[in-house]
């Protein structure tokens, strides 16, 4: 690294986290050292990069123009170091991973132990959240995303799919009967994932039915819906990755199977860069191997 690169690294951290305190936490430095470093960089360049006030911190016009170049230079330096040492290196260093809550608990966390045993020099930090988080702001190396991706600067690799099923417990079907057509769902108690619209769309060939629901229960996690579902509270549209064992054991009964539900892609996303770190590639390859093809949860469900 050149003598000036640490200053650029601190500036990038401040700009990405929008604060001296947050940047200090990311870099494990004191707030005073972060502030001093940015001031030194501004003095050397002869421009003000940040607009400081008691309430907020923002980039100046010069700061906004400079940031992308600083980010690219910083990443290029890291990539060069990793590329030069990769031939003799093993994956190492901190690896921060983000994934949706239910999927992460069921299909990411169980495979971390075997990864860490294989690569003991990697320190994995898991953060599960069903709400979309900013990888750069959160300092994540990679994220798992389920659904159609919006346009962004992230690099995406499709690694699977998430299929859905309408299901209820055998006890619920015995007591209330099974819906014979999509319109019948309006007469049943439903359990709904609250971060998705309260409308279920079903297709059969060219026919499409959109069913507006009045949920008996809503939750922001499919795992939180599973116990009430098994207890016979109502019908739910569930991702197969969360109910594979229950389908195989016939504790849950598929409904309206002649109709199709939306299928969502599963991607691993990383920040844009020419050289993906060895630790990140190793973790993605490990997950793909553990999930297999067909996907492990689809095999477990007997699909």
Q: What is the pLDDT of residue 164?
A: 95
User: For residues 141 and 129, what is the distance between their CA atoms, to the nearest angstrom?
Assistant: 15
- 100 and 174, same domain (yes or no): no
Q: Supply φ then ψ for residue 168, to 5 degrees.
A: -150, 165
- 142 and 168, same domain (yes or no): no
Which of 41, 64, 84 delimits the end of a domain? Answer: 84
Averaged pLDDT, 104-112: 96
Q: What is the pLDDT of residue 274?
A: 62
162, pLDDT greater than 50 = yes
H-type alpha helices, 177-221: none
Q: Which domain holds residue 207?
A: 164-254
Q: What is the domain count for the chain?
A: 3
Give the side-chain half-sphere CA count within 13 A for 190: 23
85, pLDDT greater than 50 = yes
Q: What is the pLDDT of residue 5?
A: 52
256: tokens are 């309206």
CATH of the domain at 54: 1.10.10.10
- 95 and 129, same domain (yes or no): yes
Which of 84, 99, 124 delimits the end of a domain? Answer: 84
Q: Establish if 233 belongs to a structural domain.
A: yes
- 154 and 268, same domain (yes or no): yes
Instruction: Tell me the DSSP string of 267-283.
Output: EEEE-S-SS--HHHHHH
Q: Establish if 250 belongs to a structural domain.
A: yes
User: What pLDDT, in 10s, does the model give residues 253-274?
Assistant: 999 999 999 999 999 999 866 6
- Would you place residue 174 in the very low, low, confident or very high pLDDT band (cuts 50, 70, 90)? very high
- 110 and 245, same domain (yes or no): no
- 285 and 151, same domain (yes or no): yes
- 238 and 123, same domain (yes or no): no
User: What pLDDT, in 10s, does the model give residues 192-228?
Assistant: 999 888 899 999 999 999 998 889 999 999 999 999 9
Q: What is the DSSP letter of 260?
A: B
- 29 and 171, same domain (yes or no): no
- Would you place residue 2 in the very low, low, confident or very high pLDDT band (cuts 50, 70, 90)? very low
- Would you place residue 3 in the very low, low, confident or very high pLDDT band (cuts 50, 70, 90)? very low
Q: Establish if 137 belongs to a structural domain.
A: yes
- 137 and 187, same domain (yes or no): no
Q: Establish if 175 belongs to a structural domain.
A: yes
- 107 and 49, same domain (yes or no): no
Q: Establish if 259 belongs to a structural domain.
A: no
40-65 core/surface letters (b: 16 or more CB in 10 A; e: else): ebbeeeeebbbeeeeeebebeeebee
pTM, 2 dp: 0.70
Q: Establish if 212 belongs to a structural domain.
A: yes
30: tokens are 């004191």
Q: DSSP 3-state assignment of 138? A: helix
Closest listed residue to residue 202, CA positions, set 217, 216, 225, 181: 181
- 108 and 247, same domain (yes or no): no
Q: What is the pLDDT of residue 160?
A: 87
CATH of the domain at 244: 3.40.190.10
Q: Establish if 288 belongs to a structural domain.
A: yes
CA 128 from centroid of its chain's CA atoms: 7
User: What pLDDT, in 10s, does the model give residues 32-66?
Assistant: 999 999 999 999 999 999 988 767 788 999 989 99
Q: Are 137 and 17 in contact (CB under 8 A)?
A: yes
238: tokens are 């569930």
- 38 and 113, same domain (yes or no): no
> Going by DSSP bridges, is the β-strand pair 142-146/93-99 parallel, antiparallel, or unpaired?
parallel
Which of 58, 84, 110 delimits the end of a domain? Answer: 84
């Amino acid at each position: 690294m050149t003598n000036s690169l640490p200053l650029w690294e601190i500036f990038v951290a401040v700009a990405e986290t929008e604060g001296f305190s947050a940047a200090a936490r990311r870099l494990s430095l004191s707030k005073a050292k972060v502030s001093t470093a940015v001031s030194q960089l501004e003095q050397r360049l002869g421009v003000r990069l940040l607009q400081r006030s008691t309430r907020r911190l923002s980039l100046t016009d010069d700061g906004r123009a400079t940031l992308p170049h600083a980010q690219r230079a910083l990443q290029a330096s890291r990539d060069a170091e990793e590329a030069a040492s990769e031939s003799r290196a093993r994956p190492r260093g901190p690896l921060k991973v983000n994934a949706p809550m239910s999927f992460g608990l069921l299909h990411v966390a169980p495979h971390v132990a075997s990864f860490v045993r294989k690569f003991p020099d990697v320190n994995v930090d898991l953060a599960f959240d069903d709400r979309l988080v900013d990888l750069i702001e959160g300092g994540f190396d990679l994220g798992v995303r389920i659904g159609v991706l919006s346009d962004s600067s992230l690099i995406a690799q499709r690694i699977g799919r998430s299929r859905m099923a309408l299901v209820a417990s055998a006890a619920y079907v015995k007591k209330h009967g099974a819906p014979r057509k999509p319109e019948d769902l309006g007469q049943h108690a439903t359990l709904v994932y609250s971060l998705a619209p309260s409308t279920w769309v079903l297709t059969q060939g060219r026919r499409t039915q959109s069913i507006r629901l009045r949920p008996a229960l809503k939750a922001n996690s499919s795992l939180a819906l599973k116990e009430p579902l098994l207890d016979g509270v109502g019908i739910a549209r569930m991702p197969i990755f969360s109910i594979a064992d229950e389908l195989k054991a016939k504790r849950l009964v598929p409904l309206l199977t002649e109709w199709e539900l939306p299928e969502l892609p599963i991607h691993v996303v990383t920040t844009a860069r020419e050289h993906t770190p060895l630790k990140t590639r190793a973790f993605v390859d490990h997950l793909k191997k553990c999930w297999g093809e067909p996907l492990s949860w689809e095999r477990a469900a007997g699909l």
